[in-house]
Structure 1
């Protein structure tokens, strides 16, 4: 890598971390600070201009004591109701907003202070709407964007991320492998170092760390052999997923 970070659009890139691996950002060597976006040296770009081109959905989301509208649009230019609701729809947050007494204008504050608060999953959808509201950002970074969602909501969230990947680059940082097979490029990191890089199929063929993680995940969903009771061909018990 030698510290050369290049952004080329559009593509879907997944950074995969083994579950027990400490989360460390991938930084260039201190003696090599050359980062480019296409052909532009980022050290020459105004930070505000750079940030305006990024949309971020972090794992640890900001929960501002403000209205739902402000939680979606804070830090951005004025946006119309239609724009805000379109972002909320893309994030699967419309049901959350419709359940609130004042919709987008509902003020959110901690319930212990007598206010109305949201669950972790609902907050994650509002945070997703915040990222999706940046419609002009060519780079969307998602860090464990489904950590507070159930399995159905998680799959729906990944489907929406794939839809939003049109004409932009998406970087998804995750331990979960449910969506990695759709990535154009997968990077497996361990303690900040690149272990493997490639597509889903090429990494499975390589039989390395990614293939081991994928096989482990897949085995959890493989039906166990039925155990028949004494003198019977009927399974003695069935398992249920809760």
Structure 2
């Protein structure tokens, strides 16, 4: 069942066209990895899905609603579409658990005490229970990124978007964040990842989309994309990173 469908999505910043007619359909429980060189449009694509950037043309359908229409209120949509960035964006003056409790207590109009058992379960699930009372500067980069993921999950999203969530981490911390994504996949979370982690995309993705110049130039299973890319530009990109 389709959760998200993009049709001919275009986006420009001034005279620079960043997305050039993106078509993409995402099914329930699917993990899609977006790969491509820096500047190919991956981050902008995620930001349009989350309604952080309005599109110029095309349609974005989410759960049967065209969310790209100008009269659609973005906040209710963003509550259902979690977005985690490469920079953790945790409030430095709040503990990990306070960071996670802030948004759902306001949005769901529930007390933090009432929400705490659910949030504690998330911390425990992602091996962070002993770090709940730590401040961001007391956490490793990998722990901060996992707290950012828990914060997004506390909003009970229908779909999760990840924008290069390992690119700011030291190499030894990358695996703990990727393990978190594998746990979400095992729970059937619908996910779109912009990533430079080719090994992870090859092993974990249901589908891989190659972006180049603001277009999806090729899409397929990891086996198809990594072992038998069809387009010369996809072949050239993969040759440069593998």
Match for residue 100 of structure 1?
none
Counterpart of 1:205 (choices 210, 218, 228) is: 228
Question: Hey, what does 1:47 align to over in structure 2?
Answer: 74
User: Structure 1 residues 53, 23: CA separation in 2 closer, same or farther (over 3 Å shift)?
Assistant: closer
Residue of structure 2 in register with 1:187 after alignment = 209
Tell me the residue number matched to 1:160: 180
Deviation at 1:179, TM superposition (A): 1.4
Q: For 1:74 and 1:170, locate their aligned partners in 2 and report how far apart those are by CA, in whole Å.
A: 23
1:2 alignment partner in structure 2 = 8
- Measured in 2, the distance between the counterparts of 1:151 and 1:40 equals 40
Structure 1 residues 91 and 14: CA distance shift in structure 2, 3 A:
same
Stretches of structure 2 that go unaligned for 5 or more consecutive residues are 1-6, 10-22, 49-53, 106-111
State the 1:20 CA deviation.
7.2
Structure-1 residue corresponding to 2:99:
71
Aligned to 2:32: 13
Aligned length: 202
Q: CA deviation at 1:36?
A: 0.8
Distance 1:160 1:151 in 2: 16
Q: 1:119 to 1:153 in 2, by over 3 A?
A: closer
Q: Does 1:37 align with 2:82?
A: no
Mapped pair 1:85 → 2:120: yes
Greater strand proportion = 2
Q: Computing the radius of gyration over CA atoms, which structure comes out larger, 1 or 2?
A: 1
Alignment partners' CA distance in 2, 1:34 and 1:23: 17
User: Is the contact between residue 6 and residue 38 of structure 1 (CA under 8 Å) also seen in structure 2?
Assistant: no
CA distance in 2 between partners of 1:163 and 1:142 (Å): 14
Alignment RMSD: 3.0
Residue 56 to residue 92, structure 1, CA distance change in 2 (3 Å)? farther
Query: Residue 206 of structure 1: SS of its match in structure 2?
Result: coil
Whole-Å separation in 1 of the counterparts to 2:42 and 2:200:
19
TM-score when normalising by structure 1 = 0.68
- Structure 1: tracts of 5 or more residues without a match: 98-102, 110-115, 219-242
> In structure 2, how many angstroms separate the alpha carbons of the residues matched to 1:21 and 1:86?
38
Q: Secondary structure at the match of 1:82?
A: helix
Residue by residue over 1:58-102, the C-alpha shift from the partner in whole angstroms, topping out at 9 and shown as x without a partner, is 11221212222121222113454332222223444345x1xxxxx
Pairwise CA distance, 1:180: 0.8
- The answer on whether the counterparts of 1:92 and 1:125 sit within 8 Å (CA) in structure 2 is no
After TM superposition, the structure 1 = structure 2 runs for residues 31-180 of structure 1, keeping only pairs within 5 Å, are 32-42=57-67, 43=69, 45-64=72-91, 65-77=93-105, 78=112, 80-95=115-130, 97=131, 103-104=132-133, 106=134, 108=135, 117-134=138-155, 136-151=156-171, 153-165=173-185, 166-180=187-201
